Chain A
Amino acid sequence: MTPVVWLASYPKSGNTWMRVLLANLLATGEGLLNINTLSRRYGIASSRALFEDYSQLDSALLTEDEVDRLRPAVYLAWATDLAARADEAKNGGSPRHSERVFVKCHDAYTRLEDGTPLLGGSGAARGAVVVVRDPRDIAISLANQRGSTVDQAIDLMLDPEAILGRSRRGQIHQLPQRLLDWSSHVSSWLDQCDIPIHIVRYEDLQADAGAVLAVTARFAGLDVTNQQASKAAEASTFQILRCQEDAHGFAEARPGSRFFRHGKAGTWRTGLTRAQAERIEFIHGATMARLGYPIAGEGLS
C-alpha cells in the first residue's frame, strides 16, 4: 500500500505547522528541525518537478487541462514507486521515517470529466489529514501572504473558480491548483469517499499540539507514544519557528514578508471589520458551523 498521506488544507490553515510537527516527530537525529529543510522536491502534490519527472514532459508546453488529465496517473505511478521503496526499507530495517510520506496539498478534492479523482484516489494515497482553520483568521493571514488587502483575500475565499499557482506570463515551481471557494474546498475533502480523512482544527493544535499530533500520527498508522508527540510539539512552537525565520529566513515565505506571524486563533476579532466578518459568515456560515466555528459575530470590534 502506498505510504503517501496527503496533508490537505486551504492555504494559511496551518499546513506548514503540521508539516513541522510531523517532521519533528519523524526526525531521527537530535536537535531542532531546520525549517528550511522542510521543502522537499516532491513535498507538495502540485510539484512541477514531480509531474515532469514522472510524465517526462515539459509542463510549460501543456495546457492546464492537459496537465490535469495526466496528474492522476502521475500520482499513481509515484505511489507505486514509494510503496516498493517502503517495502525494501522495511525488509532492510530502515528507520521509521520511510514508513509514511506526508505530502502537502492545497488542491481541492476534484475530479476530471470522466470522474477520475485528480489526486489519484485510493491508489495514490492511504488517507488525508485535513487541516482546517476559522476562515476569518485565514482571511487576515492570506492577505499578508499574498501582499493583498483583506477584502481581496476575502474575495479569493469566495471565488468558486479560484486557482492557486496560475501564472500565464511566466512559470512557477508549482502546477496550477484548483482551490474553489473556501467552503467548497473544505467540503470537497470532507465529503469524498475515496480515502479516509482525519480532520485537524488549527485551533485545537494551538490548544494542545502534542495531543493532536499523537492522534494524527496514529491515524496515519504510525506507532507513537504521547511522550514522543509532546516532545515534537515542544520543538515546533511558534516561538521557535519565528526565531528560525528571524535568523535564516524561510524559503517558502513571499520575499519581504514574514511567514510565521502571530500563530494565534481569533485574531479576526481585532483584525477584521464587522462588515468583513459578516461577509465571511454569511457565505461560509454553514461550513463554519459544520467545523464548530461559532458565528453571529460575537466579540466584534
Chain B
Amino acid sequence: MLFYSVAGLCVGSEVPLAGLAPLSEPVDAAAMIRLGDVPGHLPGAILVGPNWMISEAQLLIWIPGLARFMLTDGQDIRIRPVPGRPAEEALAFLPQMLGLLLQQRGRTVLRSSAVEVGGWAILFCGDSGAGKSTFATALAERQHRLLGDDFCVIDVTTEGALIVHGDAARPKLWADAIDAFDQWAETGDAVRCNIQKYHVGPPTSPADGLPLGGIYRLRDDRRLDRPVIEPLRGMDAVQTIRQSVYGPRFVDPSRGSAGILRSAVAIARTAQVFSLTRGSGFGWMEDGLRSVEESWDTSRARRDNH
C-alpha cells in the first residue's frame, strides 16, 4: 500500500499515482484507491450522463474500451480495467478521479494549476489546452514553488479566509511545449502509452494550505501578438470561477448549481480574478510571465494599502 497527501487529503492506494510523490511513512488514510469489481450500472442514479451515473453517494464513470471507475462517499475509488487492457492505462485518469472524490466530499475544487508567490497561492484556470500547466511550469522556472497541476481545493476558514490546497502533482506538458522551452530537460514518463504528454520536473512536495492570492483565467485569441491581462469584477469574476469548478456535473446534486454559485461568489468577493488572453503558440510566454508578475506587484500594493 502506498500513501499520498493530495490537496490535504491522506490517500492510501494499491496502485502508484503517476505524478505524485508517495509519503515516506504510512498514515491514517481518509480515502482508499483499489483495483476491483465495478458494476456497469448504478442503481438509484439520480443523474445520468453520456458515460456516467451519479447517485446520492456514488459516481460511476466509464471510458468505453478502457475502464470503469466507482467513487463512493468521498472515501473510496475503485478501478475496473476492461479485461485484456493493462491497468496502467486506466491509472492515467486517477488524478482526475481524486479531484472528483474531493468534490464528492463537499469540497470546492477548481480545475487549475497553482504556484506560490510571496506566501500566496496564485491559480491558473482555463479550458483544456489553455496553457495552465505550461504557465505554472514556466513560473516554477522563475523560482515560484509549484503547488499543483490538475486541481486545487479552496477551503473557507471560520474567519472567512480562503485557503488553497494544491494537488501537488507534477506538471504534465505536451511535447511541443517541452520543445519550446529547452530548460525543461527533466522530462519524465508519458502520461499514457502513445500519448505525447509527459510529466516534467521533480516531484512536488505537498504544501500546507496557502491564502488565495489571485485567479487567472487563461484563454487564447489568435489575433493577439502580446498577452492582455484584465481584472474581472462582479459577475464576470463569479462566472469565471463557476466555469472553473471541477466536474461541475458531479457537484453534490443536493447543492447543485446553486451550491457552485455560492462558492463562486464567496471566492470572487475575496480573491482578485483576472483574464489572461494570449496569442497562439508559445511566443507570448515571456511577455505573459512579465505581465503576470507586474499584476502581482499591483495587487500586492493594493492589498498592503487596505
Contacts and interface: CB of A to CB of B under 8 A. Distances in A.
Contacts of B93: 57-58, 61
Interface residues of B, number: 36
Contact of B128 (A59, A65, A73, A248): A59
A63 B195 contact: yes
Contacts of A61: 92-93, 96, 191-192, 195, 197
A74 B50 CA distance: 5
B280 interface: yes
Interface in B165-181: 174-177, 179
A56 B49 contact: yes
Contacts of A168: 175, 196
B174 A56 contact: no
A169 B176 contact: yes
A58 B221 CA distance: 22
B300 to A, nearest CB: 33
A57 to B, nearest CB: 7
Contacts of A249: 222-223
Contacts of B197: 60-61
Contacts of B52: 55-56
Contacts of B279: 255
Contact of B221 (A48, A57, A251): A251
B127 interface: yes
Contact of A173 (B51, B127, B195): B127
B195 A48 contact: no
Nearest to B191: A61
Given A48-B127, A73-B50, A251 B222 contact: yes
A242 B102 CA distance: 50
Interface string A222-259: 00000000000000000000000000111111110000
A252 B280 CA distance: 12
Contacts of A63: 194-195
Contacts of B177: 170
Interface residues of A, number: 37
B65 interface: yes
Interface in A167-187: 167-173
B135 interface: no
B263 to A, nearest CB: 18
Contacts of A73: 50-51
Contacts of A38: none
Nearest to B250: A56
A254 B280 CA distance: 10
Interface string A52-85: 1111111111110110011001101100000000
A60 B250 contact: no
Contacts of A62: 63
Which of B63, B66, B96 neighbours the largest number of chain A CB atoms within 10 Å of its CB? B63
A49 interface: yes
B61 interface: yes
B66 A55 contact: no
Contacts of B66: 66
Interface in B82-138: 92-93, 96, 100, 127-129
A56 B61 contact: yes
A58 B176 contact: no
A293 B250 CA distance: 51
Interface in B216-246: 221-223
Interface string B177-209: 101000000000001101111000000000000
B64 A48 contact: no
B65 A65 contact: yes
A76 B222 contact: no
B247 interface: yes
B109 to A, nearest CB: 13
Nearest to A76: B50
Given A58-B93, A251-B223, A70 B128 contact: no
A69 B67 CA distance: 13
Contacts of A253: 222
B64 A69 contact: yes
A253 B51 CA distance: 34
A57 B90 CA distance: 12
B249 interface: yes
Given A251-B221, A255-B279, A52 B49 contact: no
Interface in A134-163: none
23 contacts: A48-B127, A49-B128, A56-B49, A56-B52, A56-B100, A56-B249, A56-B250, A57-B61, A57-B63, A60-B128, A60-B174, A61-B93, A61-B191, A70-B50, A70-B51, A73-B50, A168-B175, A171-B129, A171-B174, A173-B127, A249-B223, A251-B221, A254-B222
Given A60-B128, A167-B176, A251-B221, 7 more contacts: A53-B249, A55-B51, A60-B197, A61-B92, A61-B93, A171-B128, A255-B223
Enumerate the 9 nearest inter-chain pairs by beta-carbon distance, A residue then B residue, closest first: A73-B50, A170-B176, A249-B223, A169-B175, A171-B129, A69-B64, A170-B174, A169-B176, A77-B50
